[in-house]
Structure 1
Amino acid sequence: MVDEFEYSIGLALFDFIPVLLSSVGLILVALSIGLINPQVKKFALFSAILIIIGGFCKVFWKFLIASTDVHYPVLNNSFFIFMAPGFTLLTYYLWSARQVYRHRVVSQYAIFLPLLVIALCAGAAGYLAVQFPQKRLWFIALLTLVTLANIVFIWHAVRHCWQQKLKPSALLFILNLVGVFALAGLARAGHQDEATQWIEQILNAFTQGALLVAAYLLYKKHKKID
């Protein structure tokens, strides 16, 4: 096993918890979008499912390393391949739902902007993968898109919750973003021992738990209105 990919069975299994928490949270966000604008409900759910697929690919990758000592790069790489378009689209549908909620018209052509961004990012990632196959420069292109989409997503979620007088939900969305950046910082530290990885995954569970509770409060609010 390559040293940088060392995971115990317990750690790999625990990693399913934050993914399950975030999955339910994202589905609730998509359902909230659907309550505001039923016409885009299935598209919002599709966007959330893309993110969820990416998350489960990552944890299955870790689990297979821990249980079989085999590294499947396709599962590891699928994390951002699914996350990048998923978060970009879900952010767009959250933005569009906010426009509809405020009785503003959303052009039918507005969807082409996020699709163009995804296409350009995918093109850049593909080019970098072909030109620099020994490096993971393609990963930087996808990571940049995921990071920007996540920031904009949280911004719209916080703004909407604040306007709905859902301050606890707004604060939990902010906490989720802070946790995501904290985890990114820990990931850049390089090789980590077992204890550090446990701290990281426990922090991730709290981070995604914050997303779940925030999304539930938002969904509950719009379900009552509906």
Structure 2
Amino acid sequence: MSELVVGPDGLARPAWASVHEDLRDYYDTEWGMPVRDERGVFERLALEGFQSGLSWATILRRREGFRRAFAGFDPEAVAEFTEGDVERLLQDTGIIRHRGKIEATISNARATLALRDEQGPGWTLADLVWSYRPARTSMPRTMAEVPTTSEESAALAKELKRRGFRFVGPTTVFALMEALGVVDTHLLGSHRRGTSGVWGEDGLPAS
């Protein structure tokens, strides 16, 4: 039995992306589309960290609040946040008020800048994440077949931790890779399968 839901527009989506308009729009326009800029990758890394233990809908509906709170996820700006900023953010009802996750986001901004300095001009967090793109991606027919970790996400998580990043376990990192298009876990038959320009419907690189 298919786990895809065909909407009034005739497009097939997984059930999680078929319940609410905001989740449907996110699935249709953003999730799994390639993000290769430093700020975009840093934002999604931060949001995946905040999502740990919560539903993605909870994070998505606070996204603009997160952007306001964290200076549009500009790593240079966030790296300058102080303990006073942490206390301010703990009072901000527009975000998830979790001290550890707030402090990790600030720490990760600093690690993002350190990565630039270590690797040289033009090399960023985005380059590091995309360097762990696998040789092929999964081809799930059901949600039960969608992986939650991979050899590459475990290796990337280990490397991020080595470089001082926090809240970057293999599962969180795999979710990041899904969101950025580094892997494609769209169900076979979904209207989004193979549309990123990164992966073909057969699980092999599109280019």
Normalised by the length of structure 1, the TM-score is: 0.29
Normalised by the length of structure 2, the TM-score is: 0.30
